[in-house]
Every structure is written in C-alpha cells, then in structure tokens.
A and B are shown apart, each in its own frame.
Chain A
Amino acid sequence: MATSNFISAVTQALKEEMERDDGVFVLGEDVGAKGGVFRATEGLYEQFGELRVLDTPLAESAIAGVGIGAAMYGLRPVAEMQFADFMLPAVNQIISEAAKIRYRSNNDWDVPITVRAPYGGGIHGALYHSQSLEALFASTPGLKVVIPSTPYDVKGLLKAAIRDPDPVLFFEHKKAYRLIKGEVPEEDYTVPIGTADVKREGEDVTVMTYGLCVHFALEAAEKLEAEGISTHVLDLRTVYPLDHAAVVEAARHTGKILLVTEDNKEGSVLNEAAATIAENCLFDLDAPVERLAAPDVPAMPYASPLEKHYMMNTEKVEKAIRELAEF
C-alpha cells in the first residue's frame, strides 16, 4: 500500500471521482491553473480542463450558490472555500438554502454538493486563516459535517461526501496537509459518513476528538503507555450528525472521558458528545467528563508564543489523560 500525505489523499479522491463521474467538478478561488493555494487540486486543471476545474470570481456566496444551482441541475459540485474563515459570506447559501432545499421541496429537488475547506491553526495563519467553524454548521439538520484525521479516511470520506445525495461540509486541517502521512490504498473505497472510528484500543481513559487532534491523542497515548496508562481513542470523523452510539460505547468502555478540540470550549461540537454521555452514561462514569479546548477568545492569535499557547498539542492532551487516569 502506498504512503501518502493528507493533502495528496484529497487530490487523489478528487481525481478518481472526476474520472469516475463526468458530473463531478471543482469550483473555487485559484483552484485552476494554480492548483489551489494549498495545491489540493494540483494537476486537475490540466487533466480535466477549465469547465471541470472552474476558477471563480472571489465571492464565496457565489461559489456556494452557483454550486447549489449546478447540483440542482444534477451535477456533483465540489466547492473549495480557500480558508474556512472565508466561508462566512456563504453561510446563508449553506444553511438557508443547501440544507433546506430537499425539505422544502418535499424531496423534489436535492443538492448533492460537497464544500471543502481548510480549517485550523498552528501554521502562523493568525486571526483569519486559522479558524475552526464546524460548530457553526453542526446544528443544522440537512447538512453533514465531516472532519477526517488520516489520509486513509480523507480519501474514503471525501469520496463518500461527493457521492452523498445531500450537502456535505468537509473540513481539512491545514496543518495536517503535509504533516500527517499514512497508508492510502490505490483502489476505490469509501468510508461511511456518520460513523466514528476507534483509532486506538485502551482501558483506562477514553479520548474523543477529531481532525488533527486525533494525532495529538495518539501520540499522548503512546507516551503514556510507558507509564502503564492505557488510552482508548475515538475519532469522531463526522461531527454532525454525531455517532451517538459510538460515543456512548466508548464512554462506557473506560468510564473516564476526555473530549479534545482545537475550537473554543464553549459551544464546541464536543458539547454534544458531553450531553450524550450525561444522558446515557451516568452510572458508568468514574470521573467527571473533561473538556480540553482552546481559550474562549475571538480568534487564533498572531504572535507565535500566543499561537503556541492557544493551539492544542500532545503535551496538553497527555497531561489531561494522566490526570484523569489518576482521578
């Protein structure tokens, strides 16, 4: 099996889906000749031409809205938002339109669009190139919100998103793009949307997280193994709708739960996991459910020491697991 980095898995999934289905096309800012600011669409313009790799004007609402129109026609648009931060002008199109068109047309129209967006910090991107926006969309029925952690999941989940008959938001951690590597089969496969995945089996503490933070949890678990602490890691993968059954099972498995996100603490998607555990696992818990998250400030700071402090990392996760294990 070939080893691939995170962003190559994105490109591979797009390429294979565009080869498989003529209706799949990419649109966004700088996705064409440049191949995207992160190079996610590299080579696609040359292979598929400008009608299937459409460089759009700099207007996010138009990228989403035109994509919705094309999806209603029957195409399978994959819209790239250059940074998750810049999705905000498209929120009306995503929440008011894409999420509701099937419902309000009594199933007569549908919107099989995928909206990809790089999110997250740790690359010195400052306030407007580092945001985590998943919580904004994770209470909107009609949408699915996917955040993969490994190259394997990236390929399988992005393919599943493109084939999904409903709108899917697909957030990719930009620091993971070239940092995270893993095995990616060359053959065609999908990973089901809506299912969490146990990335490591353990007995003492359960960590539930998603995206880049999964790797912090796995590294911390590795280190703690030497101390005799066994860590169970559940990768949520789809943050909306959340895989409640997997959350409950993983919570009961150890009775000690650490929820980790790079997003602000208050209102993060993890709170849904916490509420689910509260509703279902009261008598299974051996410690209070703990959340490890970013400070509740408006955005990622620019100054390096502050960014470093704001960001999630292996040490923070390790410390929190250890404290829970000792509880």
Chain B
Amino acid sequence: MIEDFPMQQIINEDGEIVDADALNDISTEKVKSFYYKMLCARMLDKKCVNLQRQGKIGTYVPYEGQEAAQIGSAVALEEGDWIFPTYRDHAATLTFGHSMRNLLLNWRGRPEGNVPPEGVNIFPPGIPIASQLLHATGAAWAEKKHGSDRVSLVYFGDGATSEGDFHEALNFGSVFNIPTIFFNQNNGYAISVPMERQMKTKTIAQKGLAYDMDCLRIDGNDVLAVFAATKASVDRARANQGPTLIEAVTWRYGAHTTADDASKYRDQNESETRRETTDPLLRVQRYLQTQNTWNEDWLKTIEEEITDEIETAIAEMEAYPEPDLRQLFDYVYDRPTWTIQEQVNQHLAVQGEE
C-alpha cells in the first residue's frame, strides 16, 4: 500500500528540484516568503521555549521541525476560509493572520489570546484530540449550505487518527461532499507512542480510501510540496469536488511539550541528524543557493526584522494587564445566569475582605 502513496516532493533534502513542472507555478519571491515565514516561526518557537523556562509563559508546545507543513498549508488558503488548529499549530495560525501578541498571550494563559483579528476564522486550539475535525466539517457544511465557496482546513496529528471523531469526520465529510481539507501532520509520535504502535497501516493517507476520498501523502518538510498539494486540494474543495485527506510526513525536533522529555522514548540523535538532512528551512536555503538567489545579508536583515517583531510582541504580552478576578466568571454564558452573578458577588466580597 505504501507504494501507492509515494511521498510527494517538489524539492528534495538537498534542495534539488524533483518536480520542475510544479515548481514553475511558484516564483522565487514566493519561495523566499515561505522561508521568511518559516524562519519567523522557528525563531518564535525557540523564544517561547525560553520564555517557558523563565516562567513567563506556561507549559509550551513546540513545533520546531514542522514549520513547512504548517506554513505551506496555511498559505494555500484565502481570506474567509476557516482553520481549526491543535495546540501545536501556532506557526499555521500566525501565518493565517493571528497576531503574535495574542499567540503569546494564549501561552500566558489568557483567553484573549485565542481571539483572532476581526474576520479571520481561526478556531481556538483544539486540545481534546480530533474533536475539532467535526467542527471543521460542520463549519464547511454551513458554508456550502449557504452557497459560498469558502473551505475549512483542520490540523491534527498521527495519534488523532485513532480517535473516533477522526473517522466520523471523514465519513461525514465524504457523504456530504463537504469542502474540508483534513490536514494531518504525521510527526511520528503521539507523545511517546510511535506510529507503528498507533496503527498497522504504513501511511495515514490510505485511510482516506475507506471514505472514497481524495488522499495523498506528501513530504511535510518540503514547504513547496505542502503548498502545492494543499492548494490543489483547496481548489478542488472550492469547486465542490469534496474533501481531501493530506498526510504531511514531518518530525518534531523537541519534546511533546516543555513538560515532556523525548529522550525517554526515542533517540534524540535522530533529531540532530535530521537538522542536517530533512530540515524544512535548510532545504529551501539549499535550493535558493543552487539558484544563486541566496544571500547571507538578506538572512541577516530578516533575522533582525523578525527579532524586533518578536521582542515587540513579548513586550506587549508582558505589558498586558494582569487578569482581574472578575474575569474568572466572564463569558460562561452570553448573559450571566444568576449562578454566575452570585459567584461574582461572593468572590468579589472575599477579595474585598483581604
């Protein structure tokens, strides 16, 4: 079965062109913009790990290594489309228009951080695993019912494919020909459990066959392949040709979260080797070098630009007022029920006595 789902690439690990036709549609400027976004995401991710160690944000979920999968896919969408991320997909949400300050606020424990800019359809990160696939299906069904051509894209990991909601969503999506892109990032591990213990199939893409759904497997570290495949799937969905299951094969360098130690369950040398081989940023750099369009000065310039952006966002996060106790009771319901109002009164009275 794995032979039926070859890992699609446009450029390989060495930056060499594998699919010249596909590359024709992607300008060098576009490639450089991908690199910029991936570098920004990586620098932010590294910074967030440090912020967690300093106690400035809570338990953090790093995505380093998965930048291509997230950014290539998010770029393929248009304004008005919907994305449903997990807790590891802030490179995607950032790319789709979420503000860096709000992203940081979320990791500081603030629900304000889950609010995207007006008109940007980013659902708050899904935590319970696979439940968001059904929301993406429902939102896209509603778009379709409304007669619009907007689509939804939902992120989930390899472990999520074992959940019932994954199968219910794929089935629902295919029965009603719903414009949803089911975008799987297969990073090899669900916390500590490797793929071969999660499923017997050698690919995740093939699970789409059971739902008579377009399904494909791509090199999730090749941002160009991710972009092209997602764009094609999005175009099909917009043209009312139904959902697609995409398996983007990738790797997380770090642990599951800052509360996890990956060396307990896998050989971390693998991550170090991969930094030199399959890394999503390095291969774009190598590609641009082969095209003689790589420039160290450019790199330095954008690094400075990104550093400024990140530092500004962190300063904004730190300057954000601490939560008022009253906020604990905000937005349980549209209008507070008497139970909520009574608690507000009680808790504020307690606070007043202190």
Chain A positions near chain B (C-beta within 8 angstroms): 25, 51, 56-57, 59, 61-62, 64-75, 89, 92-93, 96-97, 101-110, 141-142, 144, 164-166, 194, 241, 244-245
Select from chain A the residue with minimum beta-carbon distance to B128: A96
Given A69-B138, A72-B123, A97-B135, does the pair A108, B114 have CB atoms closer than 8 Å?
A: yes
Select from chain A the residue with minimum beta-carbon distance to B146: A73
Residues of B within 8 A of A142 (CB): 332-333
In contact, A68 and B134 (Cβ under 8 angstroms): yes
Tell me, in angstroms, the Cα distance from A267 to B116 when the chains sit together: 40
Given A65-B131, A66-B141, A69-B142, does the pair A103, B331 have CB atoms closer than 8 Å?
A: yes
Residues of A within 8 A of B123 (CB): 72, 109
In contact, A65 and B332 (Cβ under 8 angstroms): no
> Which residues from 118 to 171 on chain B have a C-beta closer than 8 Å to any C-beta of chain A?
123-124, 128, 131, 133-143, 145-146, 152, 164-165, 168-169, 171
> Which residues from 155 to 191 on chain B have a C-beta closer than 8 Å to any C-beta of chain A?
164-165, 168-169, 171-172, 175
In contact, B138 and A67 (Cβ under 8 angstroms): yes
Number of chain B interface residues as a range:
35 or more
Tell me, in angstroms, the Cα distance from A66 to B84 when the chains sit together: 13
In contact, B142 and A74 (Cβ under 8 angstroms): yes
Q: B3 in the interface, Cβ–Cβ < 8 Å?
A: no
Q: B112 in the interface, Cβ–Cβ < 8 Å?
A: yes
In contact, B138 and A72 (Cβ under 8 angstroms): yes
Q: B338 in the interface, Cβ–Cβ < 8 Å?
A: yes
Residues of A within 8 A of B168 (CB): 57, 59, 61-62, 65
Residues of B within 8 A of A71 (CB): 138
Tell me, in angstroms, the Cα distance from A73 to B332 when the chains sit together: 19
> Which residues from 42 to 89 on chain B have a C-beta closer than 8 Å to any C-beta of chain A?
none
Task: Output the least CB separation between A211 and chain B (Å).
Answer: 21
In contact, A59 and B135 (Cβ under 8 angstroms): no
The 10 A-B pairs at the shortest CB distance, nearest first, are namely: A69-B138, A65-B134, A73-B142, A66-B138, A69-B135, A165-B334, A62-B168, A106-B111, A69-B139, A107-B331
Tell me, in angstroms, the Cα distance from A141 to B340 when the chains sit together: 9
Task: Output the least CB separation between A234 and chain B (Å).
Answer: 17
In contact, B171 and A62 (Cβ under 8 angstroms): yes
Q: B330 in the interface, Cβ–Cβ < 8 Å?
A: yes
Task: Output the least CB separation between B135 and chain A (Å).
Answer: 4
Tell me, in angstroms, the Cα distance from A51 to B178 when the chains sit together: 13
Residues of B within 8 A of A141 (CB): 332, 339-340
